[in-house]
Structure 1
Amino acid sequence: MPELEYLNLEHNSLGYFLESEKYSATNTTVLKDINLSYNGIDKLNASVFHGHPCLEKNNLSNNFLTDIHFDISHLKSLKIMDLSNNRIQGFGSRTILHLNKLFDDSNLQLNLSNNILKCSCDNIKFLQWMEERSVHFSEKNRIKCKFRNETSVLLTTFTNTLLELEKECGSYTMLIILMAVAILTVFIVIISGLVYRYRWTLRYIYYMTMSKYRRYKPEDTDHNFSYDAFISYADEDKTFIVNECIPILEVQGGMELCIHQRDFLPGEEITNNITNAIHESRKTICIIKRSFLDSYYCMFEFNIARMESIYSRGGTNILLLVFYDQLRAQDLPLVMLELVQQDSYLEYPDDEQGNIVFWDKIKEAIAL
């Protein structure tokens, strides 16, 4: 029927068929009027109207359509499109784009009567678009917009309602943004606080993990250490280490000390060297002077040794603090002051008789 201009297929059950098929096998038709109403259509084949350059009226009323998912961008002659009595709540951005092109090229009239449009913030762009393009909508007195509270308004009296909705949505959007920022801020503060609170625990776990996978080390036990003690000191105090610690504890006492300037593995990151040395030493001895407290790596060694005590030695204290200088309590970090209050420290006497007792105490502490 190459000359057919009007095709009426209403009151059939073509919905399922037209979802994937077309009603015409020809490439181009001269159809001007198509009636597909009352066919239970909820979705149409995207190309169902391809080859319809003359189409002026398209009746898709009384179906189950929720949007225009089929292609109409080429229908330059289309004057009336009846989508009344469907299930349309709003159009997607792609549909609006195609309709805008048709509106610009023709005087297309779109009938959305007896569709219950959605009056909500997530649909406000569609509603604003309808207000801007209202001349292209027919039967305005039968187009309703429904709010969440089940009340509805007609499109003919919609201008004031839209202004109120825009204000409400603007406030709602700002509230969401403020709430999101507040929640994000609280989350960041909590995470930052936890990270700061457990920073040395996290660093210890990180460095122990790195140490485990970067080079081979045999598993240590409480009775098998590479060193008897790791000596933690500032570089400014190496004279004390060379002249007293090494001769008395190693040469005379037969102990194996880990001295960073002598025993650290060349080419290895210093943090890994420190972590390995503490993990492989029975005890960690900190030579406390002002220079120790001011040194980043000395305090790093002190804190890693604390973590070693907690997480690898079952809570056994492996730290021994040796105060070479007299320091005030307020000059010490709180975690160090706790150890001092537990009497886990010695003071260097710097006199001949006192030195004998001092070094005996050191040896005794290492051997425990």
Structure 2
Amino acid sequence: MVQDNVLKVVDISGTNLATSCRQIFAGLYKLKHLNVSRLQCSSLSKDFFRNYTSLEELVFRSSHLDVGLTDEVSIGLLRGLPLLKYVDLSGNKLINVHDRLFTSQRNVLKSLTLADNRLTCVPNTIKYLTNLSALDITSNLISSLEDHERLVLENHRLKCPNFKLLLKGNPFECSCQTVNFIEWIYTTKLSLDDPRNYMCTDRTGVSMKMVFFYNNLPAFRETCVDRTWLIFSICASILFVLVLVTVAVGYRYRVSINYCCLVIRRRYRGYHNIEGDTTQYKYDAFVAYNFDYRFVCNDLHEHIENVMNLKLCLHHRDFQPAVDITDNIMDAISESKWIIIVITKSFLSSTWGQFELEMSRRHMFQRNSSNLIVIILDDIDKVKMPRTLYRIYNQITCLEHPGRETYLQWKDKDYDVEDAHLFWAYLKNTLLA
């Protein structure tokens, strides 16, 4: 401790006098200027300057403050220095400055030097320094100043008309994204350090004077607009193609998608898939037909329900009222052991007939079972068959493959008794298998 010390200036920069930035010098109560640059302050005490209550100028350059100046240290390092007006923290690789570092100097700090650091933006702390007249952030990593940063600086200029901002030596960008910043540089009333010699780099990596870019700003703005529209057009085209492909795929597989949606909806309604031959089905067979009442209600109904003692699901009799027809169809298909489709020309021209045919085929593949019986009443040219029916027709021609759909050919006219007997016998054997 130094008794009655009247020292006003101390410079121990680059010396070994301070072997640690955690030790505290006492007795220097009248000290005005302190230079502690180029010290090893990776470990820094928040009380390092506690006794320098009269300090007005602090030079603390190149002292590894990027490590030592932690948030906790920042809050207390300059506390108790109410007269501090000039601070130089250059060359410390700082990437930011804590908002509370200068809490005790909010109304007195006049000059803040943060040159040769790694700042990418204006320190937020200047909003609280009401008398700051000079901010040096030269040779940092600032590419431009965002709108909110420029607003902070303009507001500070209104409070301190003599405020000067030093920006030279930063890697500014001259691009479409920085047009507003470049225009601000040459139109602001804020005092800057030689803005006509600011350098910037364009998007191709070419370095140029920023003022040249500013002088050609109208033309460059048009280029930016053209490029923006080009990017927008490309994005819109890609989006249009994606939508078009999605619609095309959706249309191509609309039946499959519809079937999946109906299956999911049935699950949410509390139904479960019926699996295995041991399942107790509600119906022995669901009959899909279209205006073929005479055959279905007379011949088919007579032989299956009265003779074979099996239960059919007929839409005009068994569909639930006040229920969507697609749900009724899906319920009938899922709750029936067999699906009988009566093919006529009117059935194939019917929208619901096509729907029932496709849903039956999808359900058969999902359940991995051959529970589909197709009865053809009319003479139908294979060339004119719908794609779904044609696929099934081709499958059943391969009789050597088990598990295929069964076709029964019923001729309403000019059939003999023996043909009819074989028809119903085959149908009976299939349903009771």
TM-score, normalised via structure 2 length = 0.70
Correspondences of 1:94-173 after superposition (within 5 Å): 94-105=148-159, 106-133=161-188, 135-173=190-228
2:60 aligns to what?
Answer: 9
Query: Could you say which residue in structure 2 is the equivalent of 1:283?
Result: 339
What is the rounded CA distance, in whole Å, between the counterparts of 1:85 and 1:217 in structure 2?
Answer: 71
| Cα distance change of structure 1 residues 225 and 191 upon mapping to structure 2, 3 Å threshold | farther
CA distance in 2, matches of 1:363, 1:103: 102
Q: In the alignment, what sits opposite 1:196?
A: 251
| Alignment: residue pair count | 363
C-alpha contact (below 8 Å) 1:225/1:282 kept by paired residues: no
Residue 276 of structure 2: aligned partner: 221
1:238/1:126 CA distance change after superposition, 3 Å: farther
Show the counterpart of 1:68.
122
Could you tell me how far apart the structure 2 residues matched to 1:62 and 1:299 are? Answer: 77
Matches of 1:337 and 1:218, distance apart in 2: 27
Residue 252 of structure 1 aligns with which residue? 307
User: Residues 115-144 of structure 1, C-alpha deviation per residue, up to 9 Å, x if partnerless?
Assistant: 111233444443344344375422224421
1:49 aligns with 2:105: no
CA distance in 1, matches of 2:94, 2:357: 75
* Unaligned ranges ≥5, structure 2: 1-51, 398-405
More helix by share: 1
Match of 1:297 among 349, 352, 359: 352
- Residue 82 of structure 1 deviates from its aligned partner by 1.0
Question: Are 1:364 and 2:420 counterparts?
Answer: no
Aligned equivalents of 2:418 and 2:286: distance in 1?
21
Deviates more, 1:91-100 or 1:303-312: 91-100
2-structure distance, mates of 1:104, 1:367: 99
| Partner Cα distance (2:285, 2:417) in 1 | 19
C-alpha displacement of 1:84:
0.9
For 1:261 and 1:308, locate their aligned partners in 2 and report how far apart those are by CA, in whole Å. 22
CA distance in 2, matches of 1:162, 1:18: 42
Q: Which residue of 2 aligns with 1:274?
A: 329
The code of the aligned residue for 1:322 comes to I
The structure with the largest alpha-carbon Rg is 2
Please give the alpha-carbon distance, in whole angstroms, between the structure 2 residues aligned to 1:185 and 1:269. 34
CA distance in 1, matches of 2:204, 2:96: 29
Amino acid aligned to 1:221: G
Aligned pair in 2 of structure 1 residues 95, 156: CA closer, same or farther (>3 Å)?
A: same
Q: Match of 1:73, SS?
A: helix
Distance 1:347 1:48, change over 3 A: same
Question: What is the one-letter code of the residue matched to 2:211?
Answer: T
Q: Is the 8 A contact 1:284 1:318 kept in 2?
A: yes
Residue identity matched to 1:39: N
Give 1:276 deviation, angstroms: 3.5
Q: Is the 8 A contact 2:94 2:117 kept in 1?
A: yes
Segments of 5+ residues of structure 1 without an aligned counterpart are: none
For residue 85 of structure 1, report the CA deviation from its aligned partner: 1.6
2:83 paired with 1:83 = no
- Gap change, CA 1:243 and 1:365, over 3 Å in 2: closer
**Secondary structure at the counterpart of residue 200 of structure 2:** strand
In structure 2, the CA distance between the partners of 1:69 and 1:240, relative to structure 1 (3 Å rule), is farther
Q: CA 1:15/1:313 → structure 2, altered by over 3 Å: closer, same or farther?
A: closer
Q: Aligned equivalents of 2:212 and 2:286: distance in 1? A: 84
Cα distance, 1:145 vs. partner?
Answer: 0.7
Q: Is the 8 A contact 2:165 2:190 kept in 1?
A: no
Whole-angstrom distance in 1 between the partners of 2:421 and 2:69: 97
SS of 2:128 mapped into structure 1: coil
Matched letter for residue 254 of structure 2: R
CA shift, 1:232, in A, is: 1.0
1:81-121 deviation line (CA, Å, top 9, x unaligned): 11112222223443233123223443432111111112334
Q: Equivalent of 1:318, from 345, 354, 372?
A: 372
Query: Please, which moves more after superposition, 109-118 or 162-171?
Result: 162-171
Q: Give the structure, 1 or 2, with the largest relative contact order (CA under 8 Å, sep 6 or more).
A: 1
Distance of aligned partners of 1:15 and 1:283 in 2 relative to their CA distance in 1, 3 Å threshold: closer
TM-score (norm 1): 0.80
Pick closer, same or farther for the CA change 1:131–1:233 going to 2, 3 Å. farther
CA contact (8 A) 1:48 1:70 kept: no
**2:289 corresponds to which of 219, 233, 248:** 233
CA displacement, residues 251-273 of structure 1 (integer Å, 9 cap, x when unaligned): 13444322123334567654343
Partners of 2:422 and 2:182 lie apart in 1 by: 88
